[in-house]
Structure 1
Amino acid sequence: MATEQPKNPLHGITLEQIVVELEQHYGWETLASKININSFKNDPSVKSSLKFLRKTPWAREQVEQLYIRTFKQ
């Protein structure tokens, strides 16, 4: 049974959805200028970004915060 998380703005949103929506909104170049990680700069793809973000908590936090600032306010 799923637990309700009414105060979590990312509840029900996958990391893949976050990366795809940010890339569609900003494009890789602008996204790389906002969050300085190589998976957004060098041969960017959703797959490589997800692989990096799943292993790197500080980068994932920055991506999630950018998503919240962009789409949830």
Structure 2
Amino acid sequence: MPETEITLERIALIRRLVVAWNPEAHGAPMIHPDAPYGSTDRDGDIANVTGDDEGRRRSTARSAPRSRPSCGTRP
């Protein structure tokens, strides 16, 4: 397995992850599939945290809409 460097930017992103409840079977916590950093503009949220506005413009220009499973709420 390749090593991953833990940077301040990655720690900031981890701290902003939105945890949702997966109602499948007995249920379990999961990262919100539609808005992992708080809004549906994932690339914009990452750019806000990391300050990488140039990276956001590049990824927005070439990315296509992605379908993701819906997220349930905790019963």
Shorter-chain TM band? under 0.3
Normalization by structure 2: what TM-score? 0.28
* Higher alpha-carbon Rg: 2
Normalization by structure 1: what TM-score? 0.28
